[in-house]
Each structure stands twice: as structure tokens, then as C-alpha cells.
Amino acid sequence: MQEDPDLILSIHSFTPNYEGQKRKVEIGVLYQDDELLAQKFNDFFVGANYISRLNEPWSGKEGFMYSADQHSKRSFENLYEGKPKGKKRSAIMLEMRQDLIVDAPWRRKVVELVEQFLKRNEVIELIINK
């Protein structure tokens, strides 16, 4: 029997220009409920010299990570009885600027950073002990 994951990580891209305005942010770390995990993710990207921001260019608190948030609740809710059936999973959405994500070396480095971040003991503990 396969266990439900402890983290839902969704990755999307956003346009480098929006309504005539150039966006400087390279990576957005969106969250609705998992603020501490999102802050740690963001700090990790900033520490690696990326322009990373919390809840930019959209906000997870304003419904812009609907899919990730809904999947994080699936194992938590018993859809037939409306009763809790386990813990709610962590949910984070990463938004990456489209002009950067098409660059293979840039994308490879970001994937490596995400992998490094998720292997950190403090992060694993934070996700598991939610």
C-alpha cells in the first residue's frame, strides 16, 4: 500500500513581463498555510543568489495555488463523511520566470537546489511534524 506524501510541491512558470511591467523576481515561493516552510525555501533561494520572494508574483493566500492546496487536503478529509482522516499535508508552489526556466543550466541548478533543500534534516522534520 502506497502512503500519501507529506509534501505537495507544485511548479509553475510566469511571464517575465506583465501588463507592460518587467518582473524582477526570478522565483516565487507561494504558500497558503505553510509560512515557515515557505520562508525557509525562500531564504534558501536568496542564499543561493536568486531573486526570490514569498507569494510573488501571485499570492497563495489569494487562491493562486488552488490545485496544490486542494491536493494537500485530500488525505485529510473524508469526502463521504466530512471527518478528518489523517494529517493535512504541506503544500508549496514554486513559480519560476519563463525566460529563465527555458535555460537548461539555470533550470538544472534550481532543480539541484530544490533537491538539496528537501534533503535537509530541519526541512524534513518541519514537513513530517506538521
Q: Which CATH number covers residue 41?
A: 3.40.630.40
Give a yes or no: residue 2 inside a domain.
no
To the nearest whole percent, how much of the chain has pLDDT over 70?
A: 85
pTM (predicted TM-score): 0.84
pLDDT for 49-84, tens place per residue? 999 999 999 898 887 777 777 767 755 555 555 555
How many separate domains does the chain show? 1
Give a yes or no: residue 46 inside a domain.
yes
pLDDT for 83-106, tens place per residue? 555 567 889 999 999 999 999 999
Q: Is 21 a residue whose pLDDT tops 90?
A: yes
Q: Are the beta carbons of 52 and 27 closer than 8 angstroms?
A: yes
Q: Is 2 a residue whose pLDDT tops 60?
A: no
Give a yes or no: residue 87 inside a domain.
yes
Q: Are the beta carbons of 31 and 56 closer than 8 angstroms?
A: no
Per the rule left: phi > 0, alpha: psi between -120 and 50, beta: everything else, 58 is: beta
Query: Residue 50 belongs to what domain range?
Result: 7-128
